[in-house]
Amino acid sequence: MSEKIYTVGQLAAHTDIKSVTIRYYEKIGLLPEATRSESGYRLYSEADHLRLLFIRRSRRLGFSLDDIRELLSLADRQQESCAGVDAKVEQQLEQVRSRLKDLHAMEKELERLSACCEGGVIMDCRIIDTLSGET
Amino acid sequence: MSEKIYTVGQLAAHTDIKSVTIRYYEKIGLLPEATRSESGYRLYSEADHLRLLFIRRSRRLGFSLDDIRELLSLADRQQESCAGVDAKVEQQLEQVRSRLKDLHAMEKELERLSACCEGGVIMDCRIIDTLSGET
DNA sequence: ACTAAAGGTTGTAGTTACTATAAGGTCAAT
DNA sequence: ATTGACCTTATAGTAACTACAACCTTTAGT
């Protein structure tokens, strides 16, 4: 049996990544240039499909497109050590944890603010006071 | 005693917000246009200082500049209900929590990935496998 | 008084990862 | 033949800055 071939819209439907985004990924070199039909439509192979899924999974883990570019290039070098990959994951984990820490602090402070509002007018609003620097 | 007056750099030093950013805030109308010295330097009053601190505190809670613009305008209407302010805080809290949820999921998955790498070559790398879709 | 460093001015372009819009060509079905 | 869904390109917009260029002013030191 021959391989499945996708138009950009079909690929989009299969990957939950919009056509425009797919074209954008091609433009920045994250996806190879698609082959074209006679009328100029982009045509994608199963390999492209898999590559795009890889990108999507990585995006969902919060990797930047530049990180993903590197991960993809690492993934292609089958014989080399995977230390680079491991390091990238480690680094991403650190970044996520640091962001978590920040957001946790924000959450606490917003909860505190939220609790101290008692529904009066601005003049007496403890939230505005706090933001204005009564600390 | 007369009020303290700041140049943009002095204001930057007092608020931990860079001069360029202060000018940017002015350009987008978050800060009023500064008065100028004879030579054209921006001069800031204590009121500007306080306004900028308000902005900084709000930024640290994750509010967007547009949100902050609204908060500032709410804060100016002393006689009105602070329901709007309260709602904004509530909304921001929700956003932060939603982001926390996402990041938590990322953290878990990255931990899982990180744990499954055993330092071989790419070909055998469980991380790459996972990203490539062995799920 | 002269000079160099530090700090100020403007405007423009770059960043990230898309999204929106315009103006048009193609394809499948009626 | 025409509609509607899909494709093409190029350009501009988004958030919140950051970087750069080219120039002017103030301040400190000799």
Instruction: Convert the pLDDT of each residue in B30-68 to its tens digit.
Output: 999 999 999 999 999 999 999 999 999 999 999 999 999
Q: How close does chain A come to B39, measured CA to CA in Å? A: 32
- A62 — pLDDT class (breaks 50, 70, 90): very high
Q: Token pair for residue A81?
A: 């050590």
CA of B15 to C1' of D27 (A): 23
Mean pLDDT confidence for B69-84: 89
What is the dotted CATH code of the domain comprising B1-63?
Answer: 1.10.1660.10
Look at A120 and B81 and tell me if their CB atoms are within 8 Å. Answer: yes
Look at A103 and B62 and tell me if their CB atoms are within 8 Å. Answer: yes
Look at B81 and A119 and tell me if their CB atoms are within 8 Å. Answer: yes
- A1 — pLDDT class (breaks 50, 70, 90): low
**Is pLDDT at A122 greater than 90 in this prediction?**
no
pLDDT of amino acid A2: 66
**Strand C: positions under 7 A of a protein C-beta atom:** 7-10, 16-21, 25-27
**Is pLDDT at B2 greater than 90 in this prediction?**
no
Phi, psi of A34 (to 5 degrees): -70, 150
Q: Nearest 5 degrees, angle CA A72-CA A76-CA A80?
A: 115
Note whether A119 contacts B: Cβ–Cβ < 8 A: yes
CA of A2 to C1' of C30 (A): 32
Look at B114 and A93 and tell me if their CB atoms are within 8 Å. Answer: yes
Phi, psi of A117 (to 5 degrees): -85, 130
**Is pLDDT at B125 greater than 90 in this prediction?**
no
Instruction: Convert the pLDDT of each residue in A68-113 to its tens digit.
Output: 999 999 998 888 888 889 999 999 999 999 999 999 999 999 999 9
**Residues 6 or more apart in contact with residue B60 via CB below 8 angstroms:** A106
Instruction: Convert the pLDDT of each residue in B50-60 to its tens digit.
Output: 999 999 999 99
Rounded to a whole number of angstroms, the CA Rg of chain A reads 23
Measured from the CB, is A16 under 7 Å from any atom of strand C? Answer: no
**Which has more pLDDT, B8 or A115?**
B8
What is d(CA B23, CA B18) in angstroms, rounded to the nearest whole number? 9
Give me the residue from B61, B121, B131 closest to A109, CB to CB: B61
Note whether A43 contacts B: Cβ–Cβ < 8 A: no
Do residues A50 and B135 touch, judged by C-beta distance below 8 A? no
pLDDT of amino acid A20: 96
Residue type, A122: I
Helix axes B46-60, B65-76, angle to 10 degrees: 130
Domain boundaries, chain B: 1-63, 81-135
Measured from the CB, is B14 under 7 Å from any atom of strand C? Answer: no
User: How distant, in Å, are the alpha carbons of A123, B33, B35, B56, B64 from that of B30?
Assistant: 21, 9, 15, 12, 12
Cβ under 8 Å to A: B residues 61-80: 61-62, 71, 74-75, 77-80
**Is pLDDT at A127 greater than 80 in this prediction?**
yes
Look at B71 and A131 and tell me if their CB atoms are within 8 Å. Answer: yes
Do residues B85 and A131 touch, judged by C-beta distance below 8 A? no
**Is pLDDT at B135 greater than 60 in this prediction?**
no
**Which has more pLDDT, B19 or B135?**
B19
pLDDT of amino acid B98: 97
Note whether A47 contacts B: Cβ–Cβ < 8 A: no
Which residues is B43 bridged to in the sheet? Answer: B35
C-alpha A109 chain-centroid distance: 27
Do residues A128 and B86 touch, judged by C-beta distance below 8 A? no
pLDDT of amino acid A119: 78
User: Which 3 state secondary structure label does DSSP give B109?
Assistant: helix
**Which has more pLDDT, B119 or B57?**
B57
Domain A1-80: top CATH class: mainly alpha
What ipTM was assigned to the predicted interfaces of this complex? 0.88
